[in-house]
């Protein structure tokens, strides 16, 4: 086993965001639809909010300044209080004898509440939440910092996530191997990207 550490994303990598999304974001979806006049594209917006940081979604759909501010104020203090389940194959991750790190983008209180609901806090050596309202650090910055502080070489690290333009891109820029976790078996794209649909396959890249 060459890899000494794995850096994981959270949403849609360790659990399905759409399993809690409708309940969690019902007020936000109503706000966007009613006050932002985005009713005609609300389904696309909902899908992206479950996959991307809110600030990126706001720019993509040209939210007004007022709508962006109101939605941000709501999300900043939002937390999830229901139940949540990791993917069924998550237990394979727990049994791997490598260091594990969690790096996720989102609002601090909300992401912490998800981690708590999933009961996974103790599975990771470090947890990093990149809240754009309090930091300008990117996932690339955070990956570099993890490697530096823990004396890890890029070739000894693997990044696992669901977003080609976020954690996967950041890993490639730093010379770190990356695996796209595609739990819906929906990925159709670059054959140069390693893709798995079950964590048991992860062993092939370690």
pLDDT tens-digit profile of 17-53? 999 999 999 999 999 988 767 878 999 999 999 999 9
Q: What is the DSSP string of 60-107?
A: HTT--HHHHHHHHHHHHT----S-----TTHHHHHT--SEEEEEEES-
**Across all residues in the chain, what is the average pLDDT?**
94
113: pLDDT strictly greater than 80: yes
Rounded Cα–Cα distance for residues 81 and 94 (Å)? 24
Q: What is the pTM of this model?
A: 0.94
Complete domains list, the chain, with CATH? 5-16+83-205 (3.40.50.1000), 18-76 (no CATH)
pLDDT tens-digit profile of 144-202? 999 999 999 999 999 999 999 999 999 999 999 999 999 998 887 766 889 999 999 99
Beta bridge partners, 101, equal 7, 126
Tell me the two tokens of residue 35.
């006050």
């Amino acid at each position: 086993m060459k890899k000494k550490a794995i850096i994981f994303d959270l949403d849609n990598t360790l659990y399905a965001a759409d399993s809690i999304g409708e309940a969690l974001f019902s007020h936000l979806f109503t706000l966007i639809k009613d006050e932002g006049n985005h009713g005609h594209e609300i389904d696309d917006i909902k899908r992206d909010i479950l996959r991307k940081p809110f600030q990126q979604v706001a720019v993509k759909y040209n939210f007004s300044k007022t709508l962006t501010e109101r939605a941000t104020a709501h999300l900043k203090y939002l937390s999830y209080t229901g139940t949540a389940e990791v993917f069924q194959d998550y237990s394979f991750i727990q049994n791997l004898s490598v260091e594990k790190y969690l790096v996720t983008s989102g609002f601090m209180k909300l992401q912490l509440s998800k981690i708590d609901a999933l009961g996974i806090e103790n599975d990771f050596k470090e947890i990093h939440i990149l809240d754009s309202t309090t930091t300008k650090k990117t996932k690339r910055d955070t990956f570099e910092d993890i490697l530096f502080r823990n004396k890890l070489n890029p070739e000894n690290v693997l990044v696992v996530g669901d977003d080609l333009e976020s954690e996967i891109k950041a890993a490639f820029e730093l010379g770190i191997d990356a695996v796209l976790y595609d739990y819906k078996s929906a990925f159709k794209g670059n054959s140069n990207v390693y893709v798995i649909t079950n964590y048991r396959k992860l062993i092939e890249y370690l």
